[in-house]
Structure 1
Amino acid sequence: MSNNQLTVVDREGATHDVEWEPDQTMMEALRDNDLPVLASCGGTASCATCHVFLDEKVFGTLGERSEDELELLVEAEGYRECGSRLSCQVGFNPDLDGVTVTLAPEE
Structure 2
Amino acid sequence: MTTSITAVDRDGTQHSLDWEEDQTLMEVLRDNDLPVLASCGGTASCATCHVFLEETVAERLGERSPDELELLEDAAGYRACGSRLACQIEHDQSLHGIRVELAPEN
> Taking structure 2 as the reference length, what is the TM-score of the superposition?
0.99
Q: Which residue is 1:16 aligned to? A: 15
1:63 Cα deviation after fit: 2.2
Give the counterpart letter for 2:92 in structure 1. N
CA distance in 1, matches of 2:28, 2:8: 14
Give the counterpart letter for 1:23 in structure 2. D
For the residue of structure 2 that corresponds to 1:59, the secondary structure is helix
Q: Which residue is 2:2 aligned to? A: 3
Q: Which residue is 2:69 aligned to? A: 70
Q: Residue by residue, what CA displacement relative to the aligned partner does 1:32-57 show, whole Å, maximum 9, x if unpaired? A: 11110000000000000000000001
Q: How does 1:1-107 map to 2 (within 5 A)?
A: 2-107=1-106
CA distance in 2, matches of 1:80, 1:31: 22
Q: Percent identity?
A: 65
Q: Residue by residue, what CA displacement relative to the aligned partner does 1:72-106 show, whole Å, maximum 9, x if unpaired? A: 00000000000000000000010000100000001
> Taking structure 1 as the reference length, what is the TM-score of the superposition?
0.98
Structure 1 stretches of at least 4 aligned residues deviating more than 4 Å after TM superposition: none
Q: Which runs of 5+ in 2 are unaligned?
A: none
CA distance in 2, matches of 1:3, 1:35: 19
CA distance in 2, matches of 1:57, 1:24: 22
1:6 Cα deviation after fit: 1.0
- RMSD over aligned CA atoms reads 0.5
Q: Which runs of 5+ in 1 are unaligned?
A: none
